[in-house]
Amino acid sequence: MREEQPMKLLFEILLSIFLHPIAMILMWINLIGRGDLTTFQKVIWFVVSIIWGLGPILYLLVAEGSLW
């Protein structure tokens, strides 16, 4: 393994940890303001966004993936 690989992995994990929660919060703000969805649909999207938000971090850690 080359020297920059652990640093690249750390950078990708930090990027996922900080950017995905911001995107999730923006999605929740948009979700609250939407009038075309029922409360049930909003709750489903809320739950999906939490699971979806963990996806990139799990991809990096478990599947030994990379963002680029």
C-alpha dihedral (54, 58, 18, 15), degrees to nearest 10: -140
Q: Is residue 23 part of a domain?
A: no
| Structural domain contains residue 26 | no
Residue 4 lies in a domain: no
Amino acid 23 reads A
Model confidence pTM above 0.75: no
Residue 45 belongs to domain spanning: 36-68
Residue 48 lies in a domain: yes
Q: Based on the structure, what is the number of domains in the chain?
A: 1
Does residue 65 lie within any of the structural domains?
yes
pLDDT in tens, 2-59: 455 778 778 877 887 788 788 888 888 999 999 998 999 999 988 888 877 777 667 7
On the CB side of 64, CA atoms within 13 Å amount to 2
Tell me if 24 is assigned to some domain: no
Would you say residue 22 lies in a domain?
no
Query: 63 φ, ψ to 5°?
Result: -90, 5
